[in-house]
Amino acid sequence: MLTFLALLALLAVNVTLGATLPFAQVWIAELAVVAVMVALILLVSMEVIHEPPLIRLFSGLGFFWVAIMVGMTLTDYLAR
């Protein structure tokens, strides 16, 4: 429940930053918020924090690989 509330709070921060644009380089802050959200999902929801280091490494690499694939898909759609 605490993880869910933390994710909702971070989502509210991200939406507020995107809606108000308080400074020119706001995208850096938004990426930092997203990184914290991904870390919360990995460590708490997937319970990777209780696993051996090798499993933590491969779960992090898996998330990174999915991020690359989503980025490539978005690049393809946005370039057409």
Residue 2 reports pLDDT greater than 90:
yes
Report d(CA 22, CA 42) in Å as an integer: 29
Q: What pLDDT was estimated at residue 80?
A: 86
**How far apart are the two ends of the chain, measured CA to CA in Å?**
41
The tokens describing 68, both together, are 């690359």
Report d(CA 33, CA 41) in Å as an integer: 13
pTM value is 0.76
Each residue of 30-80: pLDDT tens digit?
Answer: 999 999 998 999 889 888 889 999 999 999 899 899 999 999 999 999 998
Using pLDDT thresholds of 50, 70 and 90, give the confidence band for residue 17: very high
